[in-house]
């Protein structure tokens, strides 16, 4: 058979460095510090830090107390998603859909994105349809707002600086996130998809955010039942969180 694709594959330095970083981190369950990664790559810390920051931003790594570990993108995007979370959440999604007949979703954070792991769509002709295992922006999705609202202060501030150039806009979004954290629920009223309203609340595993449950549908239908939906979603995430403790 003739070779295709322009001949024999060749090593690419940046690709090799990225894969070496991921493989090194994957090989140590306790995580790896930047200095160790720089030593493995025989490269300056400044160069390696840029690659590591990019991997954190896209969710392939996560940073915890100066140590780098594999991030949620490895499971959410490349491999089968979190079975323990799906097992706990799916019956709850079914129950919420049966009660309100609107689309219900389970979302997790992957870097600076939201990824839907599970969805049960409304049976109605006009409904919201959420693509699975594809990245969506954290803001202004309702699930993303919840995740941002419960992120640590440093991560939240870094996200706001990166995505909102105007101080007034950063202040407005920051105030919205504080309100979400206080109320335990976030809303997206046509900010992502015109005429679609969504409400979400956070699922936690111990003290760590595990994901979000969101309900979405046409604004014309959702508005009249928004309060009971919000109350049900808050109750549902509490039920799932108790199973994950």
Choosing among 1.10.10.10, 3.60.20.10, 3.40.50.10860, 3.30.360.10, the CATH entry for 13-71 is 1.10.10.10
User: Which percentage of the chain shows pLDDT scores above 90?
Assistant: 68
228 has pLDDT over 50: yes
pLDDT more than 70, % of the chain: 93
- For the chain, give every domain's residue range: 13-71, 77-244
Is the confidence at residue 6, as pLDDT, over 70?
no
Euclidean distance between CA atoms 202 and 10, whole angstroms: 45
Identify the pLDDT of residue 79.
62
Could you give the angle at the alpha carbon of 66 between the alpha carbons of 64 and 67, nearest 5°? 65
The CATH number given to 77-244 is: 3.30.450.40
Lookup: tokens for 202:
């956070």
Q: What is the pLDDT of residue 3?
A: 44
> Mean pLDDT across the chain, nearest whole number?
90
Query: What's the pLDDT tens digit per position in 46-65?
Result: 999 999 999 999 889 999 98
> Is the model more confident about 211 or about 81?
211
């Amino acid at each position: 058979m003739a070779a295709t694709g322009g001949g024999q594959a060749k090593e690419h330095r940046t690709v090799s460095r990225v894969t070496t970083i991921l493989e090194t981190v994957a090989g140590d369950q306790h995580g790896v510090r930047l200095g160790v990664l720089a030593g493995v790559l025989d490269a300056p810390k400044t160069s390696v830090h840029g690659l590591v920051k990019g991997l954190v931003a896209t969710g392939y790594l996560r940073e915890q107390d100066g140590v780098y570990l594999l991030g949620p993108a490895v499971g959410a995007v490349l491999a089968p998603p979190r079975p323990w979370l799906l097992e706990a959440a799916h019956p709850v999604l079914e129950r919420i859909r049966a009660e309100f007949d609107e689309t219900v979703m389970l979302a997790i954070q992957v870097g600076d994105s939201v990824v839907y792991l599970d969805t049960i769509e409304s049976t109605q002709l006009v409904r919201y349809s959420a693509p699975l295992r594809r990245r969506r922006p954290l803001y202004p999705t309702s699930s993303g707002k919840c995740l941002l609202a419960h992120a640590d202060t440093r991560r939240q501030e870094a996200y706001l600086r990166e995505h909102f150039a105007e101080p007034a806009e950063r202040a407005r979004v920051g105030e919205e996130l504080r309100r979400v954290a206080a109320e335990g629920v976030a809303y997206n009223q046509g900010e992502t998809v015109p005429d679609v309203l969504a409400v979400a609340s956070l699922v936690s595993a111990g003290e760590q955010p595990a994901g979000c449950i969101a309900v979405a549908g046409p604004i014309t239908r959702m508005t009249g039942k928004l309060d009971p939906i919000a109350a049900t979603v808050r109750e549902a995430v509490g039920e799932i969180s108790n199973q994950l403790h």
